Amino acid sequence: MAAAFVGLWPATGAWAQSATGTASVRIVQAISVTKTSDLDFGRIVTGGSAGTVAIAADGSRACGSGLQCLGAVSPGGFTIMGAAGETVVVAIDSPNIQLSNGADTMVVALQASVQSLVLAEGKGQLRIAGVLTVGANQPPASIPANIRCPSIINDAARANRPGRRPCSIRHDQIQRDSPMFSRLLAGALALAAGLVVMSAPANAQGDLLVAPTRLVLSGASGGEVIVSNAGTATTTYRISLVVKRMDASGQIHAVPDGQALPAETAAVEMINHAPRRITLAPQQSQTIRIGVRPPPDLAPGEYRAHLLFRAVPDAPDAAAETPAPGGDAGMAIRLTPIYGVAIPVIVRIGTVDGAARLVSARLQPGADPAITVDLARSGDRSVYGTLDVLAPGRKEPVATIKGVSAYPEIAARQVRIPVLRERVAGVQGLTVRFTETDPAGRGATSEVAVR
């Protein structure tokens, strides 16, 4: 910082005035972006109809109707380094990219896990989700493609753009449905017979796919959700915010009108989204933008509402429902199922602490054995992570459940983990481990022995 002296003297010299001002400059650390993982859709077996496969930022996969999804998957990952406490803005320069293999092409819609990020301790993590559109009878191929890393802009200077780095997006294999498919699938199931893997719900009800399945925001930040119509008919969806609560069994229930708590009402009022109604052709996707505007006097804590995507039923065909001449006259009732998907939108204001602890785990033998786990939660923050059943001397878990959550309205919940009888029969020393995958949990773990 330097001082500057400015003096003013009139031509007559009768009087003089002076003022002192300051000049300052702020030097910020250059931002660097390093790829930590590729966006990997795994192996996909196609059939006679087109479909979509969505990979959420949390690593969950939603596989559209008409497709078989196999193998491990992962979202794209990047580590952002910069000045501690600095806020950066994230932008994907080409959110829709095309994968090509000769004349065969597929399209991937990309989505960043956040639009802005505070570099706590000078470091931040970014995830890239995506929706892959697979054509009908897509030819077998392994199609890697280079994409541009996201642009990271220093929010204070808005001028520091890093050099572009190629990073890759991949799906391991596309397999066409054929007489060989039954043997391929049988082999894949045989290889997986020693491992039971259960993930969070894929949010595919009817022909609706939503990714990610969970959105966590802070302060006045925003996010995006990709909605895909995996069906064969053009469908209109209505999007709204609702209040839901979790019970001790982990079930989510709608809160009736007029019974929302003040914190739940505040969540609905501060979260905004657009658009609120969309119409999607078959295999078409659209991005829903989420914003947060918390009031300045809002108390620190975690606030949550659920974003509900509901299909709007087609208007009934009056001509089709007209009774035929000579037929029975009377009242006809037609029941039309209305599909809906709800995902939690969590807003954290200020410092919100929380922790998870496994209290007990019990093996329930029988024709369909399972391990019942008691998970305790403390603090004001929800917890979210993965449960693994471990056996001594084995590198891979006996069973896994991803996307296990416990919300602040409950202090404990039970989780049932199905296991294969041949994998646990006579095994001594089984343990269950819970690993937090919410970034706020910093990978904390808790273990308990199975009784």
pLDDT digits (tens, 9 = 90+) for 97-108: 777 666 667 788
Q: Is a pLDDT exceeding 90 seen at residue 5?
A: no
Phi, psi of 187 (to 5 degrees): -65, -40
Q: Which residue has the tokens 């991937």?
A: 108
Q: Is 268 helix (H, G, I), strand (E, B) or coil?
A: helix
User: How many Å apart are CA 72 and CA 285, to the nearest integer?
Assistant: 24
pLDDT class of 72 with cuts at 50, 70, 90: confident
Question: Under a CB-based contact definition with an 8 Å cutoff, are residues 108 and 97 in contact?
Answer: yes
Q: Rounded to an integer, what distance in angstroms lies between the CA atom of residue 247 and that of residue 386?
A: 19
Q: Is the pTM of this model over 0.95?
A: no
Sign of the Cα torsion 161, 162, 165, 169 reads: negative
Is the per-residue pLDDT at 18 higher than 50?
yes
- Three-state DSSP string of 401-438: EEEEEECCCCCEEEEEEECCHHHHCCCCCCEEEEEECC
pLDDT for 329 beyond 70: no
- Which tokens belong to 346? 């969590």
Neighbour tally for 230: CB within 10 Å: 29
Determine which of 112-126, 207-221, 222-236 has the lowest per-residue pLDDT on average: 112-126
CB atoms within 10 A of CB 146: 10
- Which of 142 and 426 is assigned the larger pLDDT? 426
Look at the chain and count its residues: 451
Q: Which of 220-224, 270-274, 423-427 tops mean pLDDT?
A: 270-274
Residue ranges and CATH numbers for the domains of the chain are 30-196 (no CATH), 203-314+335-352 (2.60.40.10), 354-449 (2.60.40.10)
Question: Which pLDDT does position 42 carry in this prediction?
Answer: 82
Q: Which two tokens stand for residue 178?
A: 């054929």
DSSP 295: -
User: Identity (one letter) of the amino acid at 122?
Assistant: G
Q: How far apart are CA 365 and CA 402, in angstroms?
A: 23
Range with lowest mean pLDDT among 34-48, 273-287, 405-419:
34-48
Q: Which residue has the higher pLDDT, 35 or 242?
A: 242
What does 23-75 look like in DSSP terms, one character per residue? E-----PPPEEEEEE-EE--EEEE-SS-EEEEE-TTS-EEE-TT-EEES--B-
Residue 369 has pLDDT above 70, yes or no: yes
* pLDDT value of residue 96: 74
pLDDT confidence of residue 208: 83
Q: What is the pLDDT of residues 299-319, one digit of tens each?
A: 999 999 999 998 887 655 544
Q: What 8-state DSSP symbol labels residue 450?
A: B
Chain centroid, CA 385 distance in Å: 13
> What are the φ/ψ torsions at residue 265 (nearest 5 degrees)?
-65, -40
Residue 20 confidence (pLDDT) = 63
Residue 422's pLDDT band, with cuts at 50, 70 and 90, is confident
Average pLDDT over residues 402-424: 91
Higher-confidence residue: 274 or 149?
274
**According to the model, what pLDDT value does residue 326 have?**
53
Query: DSSP assignment of 208-246, as one string?
Result: EEEE-S-EEEETT-EEEEEEEE-SSS-EEEEEEEE-EEE
Task: Round the average pLDDT of the chain to a whole number and report it.
Answer: 76
Q: Provide DSSP, 138-167.
A: PPPB---EEEEPPEEEETTTS--PPPP-EE
- Per-residue model confidence as pLDDT tens digits over 165-192: 334 433 334 433 332 222 222 232 222 2
Task: Choose between 425 and 337: higher pLDDT.
Answer: 425
Q: How confident is the model at residue 354 (pLDDT cuts 50, 70, 90)?
A: very high
Both tokens assigned to 105? 């092409």
Q: Single out the residue of 40, 163, 177 nearest to residue 99, CA to CA.
A: 40
- Judge whether 150 and 93 are in contact, CB under 8 Å: yes
**What share of the chain has pLDDT > 70, as a percent?**
69
Report d(CA 177, CA 184) in Å as an integer: 10
Secondary structure of the chain: what % helix, strand, coil (to 5)?
10, 50, 40
Neighbours of 436 (CB within 10 A): 20
Neighbours of 157 (CB within 10 A): 11
Confidence of residue 16 (pLDDT cuts 50, 70, 90): low
Per-residue pLDDT reduced to its tens digit, 110-153: 888 877 777 777 788 888 888 888 877 676 655 554 444 555 55
